[in-house]
Amino acid sequence: MKKWTSKEEIEETIGALPLERDIEVLYILQPNTVVVEVGIKGNTSFSDIKKIGEAFGDDDVWIDAVGNEELKLTIFII
């Protein structure tokens, strides 16, 4: 299992996806090799969240609203 070590790696992976709307990666937190929390800012859609999860091997991303247009995505890396 890969350990995602930098915000830039996450941004690059998400940036390469054909998303409907622009989002900004604010932070990443990876407490272990199977879970990564990604803070994002911007309007997004269910379709975009699904694409992000699939890019990391997770088809059931957990979403928490943390502020105005800010979300925390919890992704389980398979």
Q: Print pLDDT tens along the chain (78 aa).
A: 455 557 788 889 889 999 999 899 999 888 887 888 999 998 888 899 999 989 888 888 999 999 888 999 998 876
Enumerate helices (H) and strands (E) in the chain, giving the number of each: 2, 4
Domain boundaries, the chain: 7-76
Q: How far is CA 19 from CA 3, 10, 14, 46, in A?
A: 24, 14, 8, 10
Q: What is the pLDDT of residue 40?
A: 92
DSSP class of 30: E
Q: What is the pLDDT of residue 1?
A: 44
Q: Which phi and psi angles does 66 have, rounded to 5°?
A: -120, -5
Q: What is the pLDDT of residue 5?
A: 59
Q: What is the pLDDT of residue 16?
A: 94
* Residue 73 β-bridge partners: 38, 63
